[in-house]
Amino acid sequence: LADLTQGELRNLEDTAKTLGAKGLAFIKCEGGEWKSPIVKFFSDEEKAALTEALKVEDGDIVFFAASEWERACTILGRVRLDAAQLLVKRGKLTIDPNDYKFLWVIEFPLMIFDEEAGRYVSSHHPFTSPVVEDIPLLDSDPKKVRGQHYDLVLNGVEL
């Protein structure tokens, strides 16, 4: 998707902003070079590490979100879905409506920190049990405690 137009990039950024982002940083890889307003902030070592870790190839684009973990995941998840639609529009991706892809989502956190309340709250519902081996973490590191709850997703839709 390194061939995104400025308008398409703005649309993706607008989507990110509706979800609470201040913007949407990106790096395009074209002709073996990184092109981006933020590339000047990366050392050669950091670029090499990102290229290796993300397996960045020519024609790729990497998006960044700076926020707390859950919000960043939500923002980038939505950008990913919108980017997939751009690939469909360009004929670079085919999504067969009759191809059903199921996914079990496991290892949810038992609790998340609620900024407004100033405390940890149930991420699913208050009757979810913690994973047994995580119980000792309840007092010392509650954000690492996993819950025994699951979601089933079909083609990107939670059932």
In angstroms, the CA 89 to CA 65 distance is 24
**Residue 119 CB: number of other CB atoms within 10 A?**
10
Q: Indicate if 82 and 141 belong to the same structural domain.
A: no
Question: Residue 17: pLDDT band by 50, 70, 90 thresholds?
Answer: very high
In angstroms, the CA 33 to CA 100 distance is 38
Per-residue pLDDT tens digits for 26-52: 999 998 889 999 999 999 999 999 999
- Interval 147-153 mean pLDDT: 92
Q: Indicate if 150 and 106 belong to the same structural domain.
A: yes
Q: Indicate if 53 and 106 belong to the same structural domain.
A: no
Look at residues 89, 115, 131 and tell me which one is the last residue of a structural domain. Answer: 89
Beta bridge partners of 148: none
In angstroms, the CA 51 to CA 35 distance is 13
Range of the domain at 140: 102-158
Query: Domain total for the chain?
Result: 2
Q: Indicate if 15 and 83 belong to the same structural domain.
A: yes
* pLDDT over 90 at 25, yes or no: yes
In angstroms, the CA 86 to CA 56 distance is 19
Q: Which two tokens stand for residue 87?
A: 């690939």
Question: Residue 15: pLDDT band by 50, 70, 90 thresholds?
Answer: very high
Q: Indicate if 18 and 80 belong to the same structural domain.
A: yes
CATH number of the domain residue 36 falls in: 3.30.1360.30
Q: Which two tokens stand for residue 59?
A: 């024609």
Residue 94 lies in a domain: no
Query: In terms of DSSP H, where are the helices of the chain?
Result: 6-18, 44-54, 69-89, 137-140
Per-residue pLDDT tens digits for 72-93: 999 999 999 999 999 999 999 9
Q: Indicate if 84 and 106 belong to the same structural domain.
A: no
Q: Indicate if 72 and 30 belong to the same structural domain.
A: yes
Q: Indicate if 81 and 126 belong to the same structural domain.
A: no
Q: Indicate if 28 and 84 belong to the same structural domain.
A: yes
* pLDDT over 90 at 1, yes or no: no
